[in-house]
């Protein structure tokens, strides 16, 4: 039996509904534990150390993670979440060919590849480049998307995500490219 497609959702969903909603009931749904949609996900991921240096999370977060049971995927065993599933880092790295993961979303995407999905939908991922970390995370995920497509895995990206796209083609749309660089003045002559 063929696996249904999987939707991997970030937290930057643009509305109360999911973009790939037509057959949503039949898709596997994966997302981040701190998303407000976490209850709708089949697999929920928190791939950060459980220590005192965690960023702000919802007030009910600890209880939320405990209630998820085996649907929760973590990077290592944690006494607070004894039923959680440990992320299979070695098998994912072996499949990808290198340990190149710079975000939870990259881990999730690679895990979907390893899990045998032939169609992966991406939504709710906003990689507006505000800093070097986000630029690296975007590049990492785009690398994995290209790797998946090279392996024959179909990838569909929500149009509001700024992955694998650009507003111009290098060399062909030079004025548009230069216009996005605020330190360069474009002359009309």
Q: List, for residues 45-87, the tens digit of each pLDDT value.
A: 999 887 766 666 777 888 999 999 999 999 989 898 999 999 9
Residue 40 DSSP symbol: G
On whether the CB atoms of residues 72 and 87 are closer than 8 A, the answer is: no
Q: Could you tell me the pTM of the whole model?
A: 0.83
Per DSSP (E only), the strands in 66-177 are 72-74, 85-86, 119-123, 154-157
Angle at alpha carbon of residue 120, lines to 40 and 106, rounded to 5°: 85
In this prediction, residue 183 carries a pLDDT of 44
User: What are the structure tokens assigned to 129, written together?
Assistant: 């480049």
């Amino acid at each position: 039996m063929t696996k249904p497609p999987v939707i991997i959702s970030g937290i930057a969903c643009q509305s109360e509904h999911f973009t790939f909603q037509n057959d949503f009931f039949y898709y596997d749904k994966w997302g981040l534990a701190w998303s407000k949609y976490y209850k709708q996900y089949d697999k929920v991921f928190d791939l950060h150390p459980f220590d005192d240096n965690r960023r702000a999370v919802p007030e009910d977060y600890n209880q939320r993670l405990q209630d998820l049971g085996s649907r929760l995927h973590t990077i290592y065993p944690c006494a607070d979440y004894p039923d959680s599933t440990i992320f299979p880092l070695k098998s994912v790295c072996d499949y990808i060919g290198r340990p190149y993961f710079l975000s939870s979303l990259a881990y999730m995407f690679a895990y979907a590849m390893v899990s045998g999905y032939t169609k992966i939908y991406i939504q709710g991922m906003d990689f507006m480049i505000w800093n070097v970390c986000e630029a690296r995370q975007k590049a990492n995920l785009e690398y994995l998307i290209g790797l998946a497509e090279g392996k024959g895995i179909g990838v569909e990206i929500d149009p509001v995500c700024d992955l694998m796209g650009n507003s111009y083609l290098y060399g062909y749309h030079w004025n548009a490219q230069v216009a996005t660089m605020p330190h360069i003045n474009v002359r009309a002559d």
